[in-house]
């Protein structure tokens, strides 16, 4: 189970949040086609509903361990109890306000081989993202754009204000041997053009996933994460020109090992339906 959960955490392109205190929505979220459903114990649940949400999430996981759970952040009254319920469950755990110290501590509390996604959403977390990515069992980084923007006093929709933070997560992921990170949510539930544009922007930076807060965002984000037809055609032409290997020139472009690896990655994503 752990290996499957780790693979799912590394490869999921769309992650759909559902409030942990709304069990009547769990099945609908599971049927929405997201790469990973995230039962949320944190922001989506009021303080007086935390215990109820934890009970409902625990009950659902008994039959559906393939889900993920976002726990409450370290330092809150609910963090340790959340981890106790999830200890050795072998589900994916999203750790909010992640930094190296809190991530290592949570990994120890969760028991053997936890599957972790570190949600980086503070200035300290961004600056220490490379160290967080190196914590054993962290499979991926995710970007908490709204919390970080609030800390910085910036508009979360301002790409320039958050560009350095996004770039830091992409670099930390690559340096740690992790897949590209998961981008933060798009709050506007009705603007598909905006969602597509934001996903395509993040993808150009090196992100490989998107956090979603409504089922209807899932197929839109998934489509925007897939390689375009132009990219796929280019990748096929590169592989055809490369033949058995070695640096060659094709169409005025030098095809060497980095170019070939990019082409292979694009075709692999196209075959696997990355974004589904």
> 241 lies in which domain range?
230-272
- Based on the domain organization, do 170 and 245 belong to the same domain? no
* 116 and 242 co-located in one domain: no
Which residue's entry shows tokens 């509903």?
A: 49
Find the CATH number of the domain harbouring 200: 3.20.20.60
Q: Is 121 annotated as a binding residue?
A: yes
* CB-CB contact of 4 with 35 (8 Å): no
Report the Cα–Cα distance between both ends of the chain, in Å, rounded. Answer: 21
Cα–Cα distances (Å) from 20 to 16, 17, 128, 202, in that order, read 12, 9, 29, 28
Tens-level pLDDT at each residue, the chain (276 residues): 468 899 999 999 999 999 999 999 999 999 999 999 999 999 999 999 999 999 999 999 999 999 999 999 999 999 999 999 999 788 999 999 999 999 999 999 998 889 999 999 999 999 999 999 999 999 999 999 999 999 999 999 999 999 999 999 999 999 999 999 999 999 999 999 999 999 999 999 999 999 999 999 999 999 999 877 877 787 787 777 776 555 566 556 777 777 776 777 777 767 755 543
CA pair distance 220, 195, nearest whole angstrom: 7
207 and 240 fall within a common domain: no
Measured between alpha carbons, how far is 112 from 89 in angstroms, rounded to an integer?
10
Residues 6+ apart with CB under 8 A from 155: 149, 161
Say if residue 45 is in the same domain as residue 141.
yes
Question: Are residues 238 and 192 both part of a single domain?
Answer: no
Contacts of 64 (CB under 8 A, 6+ apart): 26, 30
21 is in an annotated binding site: no
Question: pTM for the whole thing?
Answer: 0.88
pLDDT at 247: 56
**Is 16 in the same domain as 82?**
yes
What's the number of domains the chain is made of?
Answer: 2
Please give the angle made by the CA atoms of 40, 109 and 96, to the nearest 5 degrees: 35
Q: Token pair for residue 224?
A: 């925007």
One domain for residues 50 and 157: yes
3-state secondary structure of 88: coil
72 close to 81: Cβ distance less than 8 angstroms: no
Crossing angle, helix 50-63 and helix 79-86, to 10 degrees? 10
Q: Which residue has the tokens 């798009």?
A: 186
Is the distance from CB of 99 to CB of 128 less than 8 angstroms?
yes
Compute, in degrees rounded to 10, the torsion defined by CA atoms 171, 176, 180, 184. -80
Same domain, 220 and 247: no
Regarding whether 132 and 246 lie in a shared domain, the answer is no
Which residue's structure tokens are 């503070």?
A: 122
Check whether residue 155 and residue 236 sit in a common domain: no
Q: Is there a single domain that holds both residue 21 and residue 41?
A: yes
Cα–Cα distances (Å) from 53 to 30, 249, 266, 268, in that order, read 17, 59, 40, 39
Instruction: Flag whether 66 is marked binding.
Output: no
Q: What are the beta bridge partners of residue 255?
A: 248
The answer on 99 and 199 residing in a single domain is: yes
């Amino acid at each position: 189970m752990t290996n499957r959960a780790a693979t799912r955490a590394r490869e999921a392109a769309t992650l759909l949040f559902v409030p942990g205190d709304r069990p009547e929505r769990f099945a609908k979220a599971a049927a929405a086609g997201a790469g990973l459903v995230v039962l949320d114990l944190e922001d989506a649940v009021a303080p007086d509903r935390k215990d109820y949400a934890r009970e409902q999430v625990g009950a659902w996981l008994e039959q559906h361990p393939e889900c993920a759970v976002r726990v409450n952040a370290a330092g809150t009254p609910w963090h340790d109890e959340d981890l106790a319920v999830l200890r050795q469950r072998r589900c994916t755990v999203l750790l909010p306000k992640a930094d190296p110290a809190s991530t290592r501590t949570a990994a120890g509390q969760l028991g053997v081989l936890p599957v972790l996604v570190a949600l980086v959403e503070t200035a300290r977390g961004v600056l220490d993202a490379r160290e967080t990515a190196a914590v054993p069992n962290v499979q991926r980084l995710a970007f908490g754009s709204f919390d970080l923007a609030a800390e910085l006093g910036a508009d979360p929709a301002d790409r320039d204000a958050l560009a350095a933070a996004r770039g830091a997560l992409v670099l930390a992921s690559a340096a740690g041997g992790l897949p590209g990170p998961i981008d933060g949510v798009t709050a506007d539930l009705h603007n598909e053009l905006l969602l597509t544009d934001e996903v395509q922007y993040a993808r150009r930076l090196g992100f490989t996933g998107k956090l979603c807060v409504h089922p209807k965002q899932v197929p839109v984000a998934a489509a925007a994460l897939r390689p375009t037809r132009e990219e796929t055609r280019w990748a096929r032409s590169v592989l055809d020109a490369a033949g058995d290997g070695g640096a060659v020139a094709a169409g005025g472009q030098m095809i060497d090992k980095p170019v070939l690896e990019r082409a292979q990655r694009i075709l692999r994503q196209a075959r696997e339906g990355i974004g589904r």
